[in-house]
Amino acid sequence: MDGLAFSFLHTGDWQIGRTFARFPGDVGGALRDARLDAIDRIGGAADRAGVRHVLVAGDIYETDAVAERTLRQPLEIMQRYRGLVWHLLAGNHDPARTGGVWQRVTAIGAPENVRLYLTPGTHELAAGVALLVAPLKNKITSSDPTVWMDEAATGDGVIRIGLAHGATERFGSEGTAAVPISGRRAERAGLDYMALGDDHGTKRVNERTWYAGTPEPDGWKDNDPGNALIVRLDGPGAVPAVEKVATATFRWLERDLEISGPGVLAELDALIAAQKARPRDILLRVGLRGTVAPFALSEIDAALQHLSARLRHLECSREALLAGAGDGDLERLAGAGELSKVAARLARICDEADGPDRAAAGRALALLFAYAGREDAT
């Protein structure tokens, strides 16, 4: 079919209803809301790109047990984008099983512009464009749910697009995938594009096979999350043109720093300033290591407290940050009697010991200097 072209947006792994229970206070709530807001950003990206179809490659919901309000919220958002058709595939977090989340959605009725794919099959997206879907019935399967696509007939001159959820690479402690999918399925099934979900990072498997990744990051894994893909096909057999579009609100940053004093904040300030995000939209996990003067630890604490107030969330690991006192530091306690003697003994332990003993001595030394400082202030 000469001149046939088709474009769409590829996304997946929304996991609406994820709780983020490990985070304190209102952080979890903000992260949950951002996953809903991402649907609006996806709809806006599709509108700006001039595409009419949004393919969602599974895991729309986090579990079958989402609350009724949570069940309805993404449907209400998608309904507002009347110029778009949303194509939802059952994934392994939200499989199409009896009593599952999709049975509940079917019972309340999906909006007219939302299509649910709960059984494998071929569907017409537009004239000359076929969508081959492989929804999941279970969280785990040992067989590739896309094998049937190899024999699926769609006629000549038809653009063939696959929509599936699973792993093209083995992973996990035993080197197995919960849902294995061949990375060569597009080639074997004559697909012009295979839209996959499961990997939470944007990833090109080959020129016709992509993971869009989760539209809103959900952890500190450095795998390029927070995107959707605009895919343009100029006709059957044409190599797809794939454009990555940012959809994330939050940035998850992680750094390990070697420090020798309280200037840690300057480096972290530079990191935050380099982000295209407000500080309140940043979650930072930092590991500090090095040896610093005991009195510097309280200054580092103050700097981190200041930083924490600016960010959405700050986690700091200090197990590898040790206190050590040189002669100049100990001179600050000269005349302090027993405190000076104790400080000298702790400083020797810091110099000579390793592991837990050194860390414990360093903490004690820092507390002693802090106490001495309060005594001086009075």
Q: Rounded to a whole number, what is the largest CA-CA distance in the chain? A: 94
Give pLDDT, residue 298: 75
> How far is 284 from 312, CA to CA, in rounded Å?
8
376: pLDDT strictly greater than 60? no
Residue 255: strand pairing partners: 286
Count CB-CB contacts under 10 A for residue 186.
25
Give pLDDT, residue 25: 81
What's the average model confidence in pLDDT over 264-281? 90
- Average of per-residue pLDDT values in the chain: 89
Residue 24's Cβ-count burial label (10 Å; 0-12, 13-18, 19+) is exposed
Count CB-CB contacts under 10 A for residue 47.
14
Contact 90, 54 (CB under 8 A): no
- Tell me the per-residue pLDDT of 301-343, one tens digit each, with 9 for 90 and over: 888 999 999 999 999 998 777 766 555 566 666 555 666 677 6
- Give the HSE-up count for residue 253: Cα atoms under 13 Å, Cβ half-sphere: 26
Under the banding of pLDDT at 50, 70 and 90, the label for residue 182 is: very high
Domains and CATH numbers, the chain: 6-246 (3.60.21.10), 251-377 (no CATH)
- Tell me the per-residue pLDDT of 67-87, one tens digit each, with 9 for 90 and over: 999 999 999 999 999 999 999
> How far is 370 from 378, CA to CA, in rounded Å?
13
347: pLDDT strictly greater than 80? no
Give pLDDT, residue 1: 40
- Tell me the per-residue pLDDT of 12-49, one tens digit each, with 9 for 90 and over: 999 999 999 999 889 999 999 999 999 999 999 999 99
Give pLDDT, residue 364: 72
Checking DSSP bridges between strand 193-197 and strand 159-165, what pairing results, if any?
parallel
Give pLDDT, residue 290: 81
61: pLDDT strictly greater than 80? yes
What is the SS3 assignment for 213? coil
